[in-house]
Chain A
Amino acid sequence: MKLDPNIADPDGLYEALVNAHAGLSDQESVALNARLVFLLANQIGEPTILYDCINSALRSVHKNNGRGE
């Protein structure tokens, strides 16, 4: 799993994501994110990288909610 910067156009990506969510209901936003997850996962393919990403994302959510490790 890459944790150093690898996104060629970070500002552009962020803008594209925000624009995609613009005008969507919460429910539609959640649906959009779920579809994105699967589309992006298919670009990666490699299970160990995907599981590392899932675990890192989950840790980040727990940390923000003060649950820690």
Chain B
Amino acid sequence: METQYQGSGYRLPEYPFETPPEIIEGVSKRYRVVIVGGGLAGLSVACDLATRGISTVLLDDDNTIGVRGLASRGITYAQKSLEIFERLGIYDRVKAKGVEWSHGKTLADNDVVYSFDLAATRLSKQPPFINIQQFYIEWFLVDRIYELGVTDLRWSNKVVGVQELSDCIRLDVETPAGQYHLEADWVLDASGVNSPIREGLNLPIHPARGQDRWCISDIRFKLDAPLERWTWIEAPFNENRAVWQLPMGDGVWRLDYQMDANADLDAVSNEGVVRSRLGQQLGEDREFELVWVGLYAYRTQLLDNMRHGRVFFLGDAAHVMSPFGGRGGNSGIQDAENLSWKLAMVLNGHAPQSLLDSYQAERHPAAIHNIKTTSRTTRFLSPQSNAERILRDAVIALAREFAFARPLVNTGRMSVAFQYDTSPLITHAGNAVQNVPLVSSGGTQGSLLDLFAGKNCFLAVWFSEHGLTPKQIKLVKSLQIEETNLHWYIYSSIGRNSIELMDRGGGLKQALGVVNDCVCLIRPDMHLAAKIENPSASSIRIALRKSMALEI
């Protein structure tokens, strides 16, 4: 994405460069984990590992957040990401700064031809979406990483070379104080679309570019529209091309305009042209402040393997997709969470290195799914032939009149957590479990996340209508001793350790889809690892060990 106009913008923090110990002492050092890139994915994985007690070195080529200026980039953070923010300890700040929403509408003239409201399926403490400028998320993550105090954040450290050695990765780093190199057992590459590491290792990404161009105009003004996602496919105030209207923090709105495929890019993003286009939509007499203007084009790319030996690729370094539905940023955050709990378990000696193979097995299908989903949206928004336009016109015309055609209108399918049902770690499950609110016997408000008690562990919840038999209680006790990565809860109104009383609305049962007595194993990333009916010691142990890639 390219910044065309730096408007009145925002003031972003700048972080000090400190001369690295390698340069001061004149020696190379070896680290367990080095993260490259301080964007959404890099900061998320640094923060996530820090909360699990793993110290890392993070190299960022800049000295601020928001990448070279004030690029707003991602703005929509979906429920799964918000739940991750809650666990990382930044959710309250995100909620205070951002705009909660759940309702989206697609309009043709004044007719609503498609709408969705995800509030109806919400069981989580977190809302379906919060819109907020991406740099705020990064800012809060940096603050939190400093607060946790175990991460070596190195600003203005630019990776310029990568080399695979027999038992580690060597990175060459350029800084204002000169060049140095360091060695890492594991490198987590979150350095974005143009990753120097991916390029240095010569890994193909199969790039494809679209013809369509969009011009983002972030503006600050008072708009009486509801806090919803509105999209027009054929907006009369944009020469019958698409327009997006989304609220975000600080009273700023994002208006995103589809440009003519043959448009002169300098001309369409010229400040005067941008202002006149805004005037057409908002009314000529409307006062507004231009915060930021940027252009982007569709682009997709994907690594065949998101792991290359000791290097893991996260976020845009691994996959790039069109922005519809907020799938880019949200999937980077989920990459980070998926890798963090696994890497922490491996580094702490609780799981074998083969657990790390499941990062590719789980996140690569998620990336394929996201690219497929966003590519379908781009195809709807930019018909590539006369026949495609005829089909789309038919859909829009029918959708004005008939409800049946509305689901065919595609202005983006919003990001939802991916279901890992093909993962080798999963036993007939894999869906994300929503962060259901729970209330303690003392009346304290909490949620499912609190049951992890800050540990990098699995939850086992035994749903038992009539309470556990003495034999079953004995089974739980013996598993508590044998399997230290498992926290047990009994879901029954009878007996100790009961969480049924905490689940007053029955949301947890609903979130887990529990009908009969069973044991549910919930992973540290709140995905359901297994649902075991007729549980026995061996079936529980097998499911747990499978989900940690341990030998059964």
Stretch in B97-105, B132-140, B392-400 with 4+ CB within 8 Å of A: B392-400
Say what secondary structure dominates the interface of chain A. helix
A-B contact pairs, 23 of them (CB 8 A): A30-B390, A31-B390, A31-B393, A31-B394, A31-B397, A34-B390, A34-B391, A34-B393, A34-B394, A35-B394, A35-B397, A35-B398, A37-B391, A37-B394, A38-B394, A38-B395, A38-B398, A38-B405, A38-B408, A39-B398, A39-B404, A42-B404, A42-B405
Residues of B within 8 A of A37 (CB): 391, 394
A43 and chain B: residue at smallest CB distance: B404
**Chain A hits for B395, CB < 8 A:** 38
A-B contact count (CB 8 A): 23
Complex formed: what's the CA distance from A50 to B405 in Å?
16
Residues of B within 8 A of A (CB): 390-391, 393-395, 397-398, 404-405, 408
Query: What is the CA–CA distance of A16 and B253 in the complex, to the nearest angstrom?
Result: 50
Q: What 1/0 mask marks residues of chain A from 12 to 53 whose CB sits below 8 Å from any chain B CB?
A: 000000000000000000110011011100100000000000
A42 partner residues in chain B, CB cutoff 8 A: 404-405
**Distance of A48 from chain B, by nearest CB (Å):** 18
Indicate the member of A30, A34, A37, A42 with the most B CB atoms within 10 Å.
A34
The residues of B that contact A35 with a CB separation of less than 8 Å are 394, 397-398
Residues of chain A whose beta carbon lies under 8 Å from any beta carbon of chain B: 30-31, 34-35, 37-39, 42
* Assembled-state Cα–Cα distance A50/B398 (Å): 19
By secondary structure, the B interface counts as helix
Complex Cα distance A35/B399, Å? 11
Q: Shortest CB–CB separation between residue B398 and chain A, in angstroms? A: 6
What CA separation (Å) do A38 and B404 show in the bound complex?
A: 9
CB proximity of B404 to chain A, nearest CB, Å: 5
Could you say which residues of chain B place their CB within 8 Å of the CB of A39?
Answer: 398, 404
Tell me the bound Cα distance from A34 to B395 in angstroms: 8
CA distance A42 to B393 in the complex (A): 17
Which residues of the other chain, A, contact B391 by a CB distance below 8 angstroms?
34, 37
**Please, which residues of chain A bring their CB within 8 A of the CB of B397?**
31, 35
The CA of A31 and the CA of B93, in the complex, are separated in Å by 51
Q: Name the residue on B nearest A35 (C-beta).
A: B394
**Closest residue to B404 on the A side, CB-wise?**
A42
Quote the shortest CB–CB distance from B437 to chain A (angstroms): 37
Extra contacts besides A31-B390, A31-B397, A35-B398 (11): CB < 8 Å: A30-B390, A31-B394, A34-B390, A34-B391, A35-B397, A37-B394, A38-B395, A38-B405, A39-B404, A42-B404, A42-B405
**B399: nearest chain-A partner, CB-CB:** A38
Which residue of A has the minimal Cβ distance to B408? A38
Closest Cβ–Cβ distance, residue A54 to chain B (whole Å): 12
Nearest chain B CB to A6's CB is how many angstroms away?
Answer: 22
CA distance in complex: A35, B391 (Å)? 8
| Residues of chain B with a CB closer than 8 A to A31's CB | 390, 393-394, 397
Cα–Cα distance between A59 and B393 once the two chains are bound (Å): 25
Contact residues in A for B405 (Cβ distance below 8 Å): 38, 42
| Interchain CA distance A42-B391 in the complex, whole Å | 15
Shortest CB–CB separation between residue B233 and chain A, in angstroms? 16
Complex Cα distance A30/B385, Å?
A: 14
CA distance A38 to B390 in the complex (A): 12
A2–chain B nearest beta-carbon distance, Å: 22
The 6 closest A-B pairs by CB, nearest first: A34-B394, A42-B404, A35-B394, A34-B390, A34-B391, A30-B390
Distance of A39 Cα from B393 Cα, bound (Å): 14
Q: Considering the chains assembled together, what is the distance between the CA atoms of A60 and B137 in angstroms?
A: 54
Task: Specify which chain A residues have a CB less than 8 angstroms from the CB of B390 in the assembled complex.
Answer: 30-31, 34
Question: Cα distance A38–B395 when bound, in Å?
Answer: 8
With the chains together, A31 CA to B386 CA distance in Å?
Answer: 11
* Closest residue of B by beta carbon distance from A30: B390
A34 CB contacts on chain B under 8 angstroms: 390-391, 393-394
Cβ of B234 to closest chain A Cβ, rounded Å: 15
Report Cα–Cα, A2/B104, bound state, in Å: 39
Which residues from A are CB-within-8-Å of B404? 39, 42
Q: How far is the CA of A32 from the CA of B370 in the complex (A)?
A: 33
How many Å lie between the Cα of A42 and that of B395 in the bound state?
A: 12
A37 → B minimal CB distance (Å): 7
